């Protein structure tokens, strides 16, 4: 075993500070590391966004083009799995601006999930540390990508932000919050179920933005349900969740959906697609999301079941401090790159198979 390196300064990358789950995790990580006395720089490789106001005092924010790399040296750098982020990390490593590079995989994995871009997959074999979200997520990465993550570090939330206001009237029956990507997030499924007879009295709230927003609004109008849907744009989960009777997520693939952890912390029941790969629970119903009637019936049963809606707030195991400690442990551990490719055939297939989306940004 080599001598463990003490980490005093860390660079964290994100393309933007939009209100997506991965971006919120970067901000939580930066804030938690800074609270432990570590110098943190958050590099924005494309633009800023609405989460900027949540970045803690003392965390340095810099907007920089990825090809320039970091402007100063750091003991370690943490990137995601977009092309821009791994290029930034690779350039930092080649320029000796950092001695440790960690790639955090938050990508969904599964039969329908897109494979990583070639640069991303190759970088997974070069980085000093590779982490996944959960043990199941790590097994999926190994099965579909051919590489084995070194450790797992779960998503985290700040549970102090979530307080269910049980004595107030709900504004909407069914809510969705997240990226407006129809195929990935199954929002076409949501609208189809909203048009089912069992859902004709329900009011819906959809919060977020994304590439398919106008397409989804046109679909809602064509289904005759646009008068029952409120399109709210960007909203914080802590504001949104106490205002809905249930949260629904009908994705076709996911990693570890952050919004479900947030819903648990807020005491909000959930109706989730089987494709999302999450386990059922007392406050979580799993449905065949391609069956619009089954989804609508699950919404109805959840909204009328006291045994679900009266559940106490769940305990979320991973706090931002826990997450920061996990990242520090991964950064301080010996690199195991030589054993990272576990299945050469799978790795080569993932590397060379045509990418429908052209990889990440």
pLDDT in tens, 15-56: 999 877 889 899 999 999 999 999 999 999 999 988 999 999
d(CA 331, CA 11): 12
Residue 213 domain flag: yes
Tell me what pLDDT residue 353 has: 82
Residue 359 domain flag: no
Whether 341 and 299 share a structural domain: no
Whether 252 and 344 share a structural domain: no
d(CA 179, CA 8): 34
Whether 146 and 168 share a structural domain: no
Tell me what pLDDT residue 33 has: 98
**Tokens for 284?**
């979580």
Q: Are 270 and 276 in contact (CB under 8 A)?
A: no
pLDDT in tens, 305-323: 844 444 444 445 578 999 9
Pairing, β 129-132 against β 244-249:
unpaired
Residue 342 domain flag: yes
pLDDT in tens, 232-262: 998 989 999 999 999 999 999 988 888 998 9
To 10 degrees, what angle do helices 21-35 and 320-332 make?
A: 80
Burial environment of residue 262 by CB neighbours within 10 A (0 to 12, 13 to 18, 19 or more): buried
Residue 3 domain flag: no
Whether 115 and 180 share a structural domain: no
Q: How many domains are there within the chain?
A: 2
Whether 252 and 288 share a structural domain: yes
Whether 75 and 195 share a structural domain: no
Whether 305 and 168 share a structural domain: yes
Question: 22 φ, ψ to 5°?
Answer: -65, -40
pLDDT in tens, 177-190: 998 999 999 999 99
With tokens 């997450």, the residue in question is 323
CATH number of the domain residue 135 falls in: 3.40.50.2000
Residue 65 domain flag: yes
Whether 260 and 242 share a structural domain: yes
- The pTM of the full predicted model, rounded to 2 decimals, is 0.85
Whether 297 and 328 share a structural domain: no
Whether 77 and 133 share a structural domain: yes
Q: Work out the mean pLDDT of the chain and round it to a whole number.
A: 89
Residue 252 domain flag: yes
* Reduced 3-state DSSP string for the chain: CCCCCCCCEEEEEECCCCCCHHHHHHHHHHHHHHHCCCEEEEEECCCCCHHHHHCCCCCEEEECCHHHCCCCCECEEEECCCHHHHHHHHHHHHCCCECCEEEECCCCCCCCCCCCCHHHHHHHHHCCEEEECCHHHHHHHHHHHCECCCEECCCCCCHHHCCCCCCCCCCEEEEEECCCCHHHHCHHHHHHHHCCHHHCCCCEEEECCCCCHHHHHHHHHHCCCHHHEEEEECCCHHHHHHHEEEEEECCCCCCCCHHHHHHHHHCCCEEEEHHHCCCCECCEEEECCCCHHHHHHHHHHHHHCHHHHCCCCCCCCCCHHHHHHHHHHHHHCCCCHHHCECCHHHHHHHHHCCCCCCCCC
Residue 212 domain flag: yes
State the residue range of the domain holding 148: 9-156+320-352
Give, rounded to a whole angstrom, the gap between the first and last alpha carbons of the chain.
37
Whether 170 and 266 share a structural domain: yes
Residue 330 domain flag: yes
Whether 295 and 169 share a structural domain: yes
């Amino acid at each position: 075993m080599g001598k463990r390196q003490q980490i005093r300064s860390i660079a964290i990358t994100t393309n933007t500070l939009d209100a997506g789950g991965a971006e919120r995790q970067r901000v939580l990580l930066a804030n938690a590391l800074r609270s432990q006395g570590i110098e943190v720089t958050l590099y924005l490789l494309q633009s800023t966004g609405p989460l900027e106001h949540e970045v803690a005092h003392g965390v340095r924010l810099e907007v920089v083009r990825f090809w320039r790399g970091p402007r100063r040296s750091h003991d370690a750098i943490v990137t995601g799995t977009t092309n821009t982020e791994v290029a930034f990390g690779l350039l930092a490593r080649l320029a000796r601006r950092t001695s440790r590079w960690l790639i955090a995989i938050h990508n969904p994995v599964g039969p329908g999930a897109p494979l990583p871009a070639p640069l991303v997959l190759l970088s997974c074999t070069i980085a000093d540390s590779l982490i996944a979200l959960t043990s199941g997520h790590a097994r999926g990465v190994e099965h579909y990508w051919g590489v084995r993550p070194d450790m797992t570090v779960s998503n985290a939330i700040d549970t102090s932000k979530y307080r269910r206001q049980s004595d107030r009237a709900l504004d909407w029956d069914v809510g969705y919050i997240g990226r407006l990507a129809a195929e990935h997030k199954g929002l076409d499924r949501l609208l189809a179920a909203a048009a089912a007879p069992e859902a004709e009295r329900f009011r819906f709230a959809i919060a977020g933005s994304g590439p398919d927003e106008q397409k989804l609004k046109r679909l809602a109008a064509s289904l005759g349900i646009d008068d029952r849907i409120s399109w709210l744009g960007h909203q914080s989960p802590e504001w949104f969740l106490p205002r809905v009777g249930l949260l629904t997520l009908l994705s076709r693939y996911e990693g570890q959906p952050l919004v479900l952890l947030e819903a648990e912390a807020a005491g909000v029941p959930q109706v989730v697609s089987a494709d999302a790969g999450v386990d059922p629970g007392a406050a979580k119903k799993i449905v065949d999301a391609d069956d619009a009637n089954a989804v609508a019936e699950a919404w109805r049963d959840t909204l009328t079941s006291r045994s679900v809606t009266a559940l106490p707030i769940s305990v979320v195991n991973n706090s931002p401090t826990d997450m920061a400690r996990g990242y520090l442990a991964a950064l301080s551990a010996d690199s195991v790159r030589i054993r990272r490719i576990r299945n050469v055939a799978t790795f080569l297939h993932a590397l060379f198979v045509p990418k429908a989306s052209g990889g990440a940004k």
